[in-house]
Amino acid sequence: MDVISVIRTKRDRGRLSDEQIDWVIDAYTRGAVADEQMSALAMAVLLNGMDRAEIARWTAAMIASGERMDFSSLARPTADKHSTGGVGDKITLPLAPLVAACGAAVPQLSGRGLGHTGGTLDKLESIPGWRASLSTEEMLAVLDGVGAVVCAAGDGLAPADKKLYALRDVTGTVEAIPLIASSIMSKKIAEGTGSLVLDVKVGSGAFMKSLEDARELAATMVGLGTDHGVRTVALLTDMSVPLGLTAGNALEVRESVEVLAGGGPADVVELTLALAREMLDAAGLKDADPARALADGSAMDAWRRMIRAQGGDPDAALPVARDTHVVTAPASGVLTGLDAYAVGVAAWRLGAGRARKEDAVQAGAGVELHARPGDPVTAGQPLLTLHTDTPERFDYALEALEGGFTVSPAGTGFTPRPIVLDRIS
């Protein structure tokens, strides 16, 4: 077996055999296949796809590259959630402690920023002292004591995916449906959760731009989970506009705390509750009321315990960027368009994301929104505030926002898309 023949097979639109898949995943994990070679294979997969059997075998090979976790010792049923990534998608932050406050255990293994989309771990690391890396023993202790943990997957869990995930981020192969599905499901199946809710984003700010592609991805992942004994359901949710009013690391943490305090943007609250209900239902806790847990403060209590358990200080001041730039409305009227992708790229260019897998991110960088589509605006009023520690980035970020928002004459009708577009089970 050699990597060139594997690349050529997929380049020429052939079907990879089980033996080829098993070999290339194992060889890449061991370092016998170079990054540039796996990059070529990933691009061939992006362009030519995989059939369901190939994806299933690729996922199984990723799982087999490492260990599997076991949460059977916990007294609570386990439920996890995964988002395919979006702009302003801070939902994990209020969701994990909310579901824990309702009686489930949430072993949330999260990732870093990928392209123009933010990473949950990058956001939480803006909290002073908070640690993303926990041993299996520490993770189980936090789950047992708090009910929720948000951390990085350990080196032993699907190590093939850890290498490939970082590579996809910097080689233009993030959007490949087979690689997205296998990446997500290899970690989630190896993680050992009893049930899983998938938040598959749809729209300009998502990797899936169309409902058809999103349904394909959701159905692929639901099938992979079900075949491995994990009760899996997927919600298709809107990502044509940013979620909430912030895109950035510390900015999104601040907004998440507002939600846990009983406030926050309506769309963030709506999606948090929708996903919480799905997770609790999948875990067999049909009578739990997540709305009450938000209102009575128990979700906030669980958040504070979770942050402290991972070394963070929930009362510490969050980082603030040194420089800001305000983008104003060019005319009076109604804001009828605000492109999620444009905002995500702007936040990325300001320092909230990374261009190379080894890059650091700025905790305070990002974009703050002062209006949402459907809102009336006046010429000269602030629409967006850009935040960064490196003001030379402003021009580059402003380029990304050119054509990214639309102000229409007063009286123009506007019908927002619903947050939840479909459900796949």
Q: Known catalytic residues? A: 82, 161, 168, 183, 187
CA distance 304 to 58: 39
Closest-CA residue to 244 (of 367, 148, 326): 367
The answer to whether the beta carbons of residues 54 and 178 sit under 8 Å apart is: yes
The answer to whether the beta carbons of residues 224 and 405 sit under 8 Å apart is: no
Alpha helices (H) along 102-158: 120-124, 136-145
Closest-CA residue to 225 (of 193, 263, 180, 199): 193
The answer to whether the beta carbons of residues 361 and 113 sit under 8 Å apart is: yes
What amino acid occupies position 154?
G
What amino acid occupies position 340?
A
Residue 370 in tokens: 């002062």
What amino acid occupies position 54?
E
**Strand-strand pairing, 405-408 and 333-338:** antiparallel
User: CA-CA distances (angstroms) from residue 140 to 22, 35, 179?
Assistant: 31, 34, 29
